[in-house]
Amino acid sequence: MCCLKNIKFIITDDKSVGMYDENIKDILHSKTGALREAADKFVIPANILNKKNIKVLDICYGAGYNSKLLLNLAKENNIFIDAIEINNEFIYLSPFINDGIENIELKLFLIKSILNNSTLSADFIKFVKVLNKFENSIYFNTRLVAFVLNFFDYVRINSSLNDKSLFLHNIYCQYIK
């Protein structure tokens, strides 16, 4: 894991954060905006916001703009998303990126999903510690990073903690204050 060494961040025209991966020599979103692109090219043309039991395969998940926007807009529907991404750093960054979606429950759901995947969780903890060095970054939510780091410290001190959901709920309550 290279800890964002090969990822360059850009602020797009819609004020969302785009990323360029120097490893694969590709930008993840257009300059017009990652959130705008997710709406115009994926969510709106799919015409599924009013449907029930939606199943989506998100190939090249990236920072998750397409899936997160769908989940944010179609709140009342049953949505099942299978996401594929070769770069775990994009998956780890997904809940923290300043993506224009302010739904904190969605962000915590993504964090919980990563932590529940045992093959991802150890590297995720290291990754969040690296994010912490980007203090006052315009590219991601540093308050959420700090709260998640508090969670990791709490788990380390209280190794008997079995219910990560309870602590994530406490993070949510502290965050919205």
**CA–CA gap between residue 130 and residue 125 (Å, rounded):** 9
Domain membership flag for residue 85:
yes
Q: Could you say which residues of the chain have pLDDT below 70? A: 1-3, 76, 135-136, 154-177
145, 132 contact by CB (below 8 A)? yes
Question: Is 45 contained in some domain?
Answer: yes
For the chain, how long is the longest CA-to-CA vector? 48
Q: Answer yes or no: is 60 within a domain.
A: yes
Q: 1 lies in a domain?
A: no
Q: In terms of residue numbers, what domain contains 35?
A: 7-176
pLDDT in tens, 64-92: 999 999 988 887 678 888 999 888 888 89
Confidence (pLDDT) at 11: 87
- 86 falls within a domain: yes
> Which among 102, 96, 70 has a CA at the least distance from the CA of 83?
70
User: Domain tally for the chain?
Assistant: 1
E-only strand ranges, the chain:
7-11, 17-21, 26-27, 54-59, 79-84
Residue 59 belongs to some domain of the structure: yes
Q: Please indicate, yes or no, if residue 15 is contained in any of the structural domains.
A: yes
pTM: 0.79
- Tokens for 75, please give them: 């709140």
pLDDT of residue 1: 47
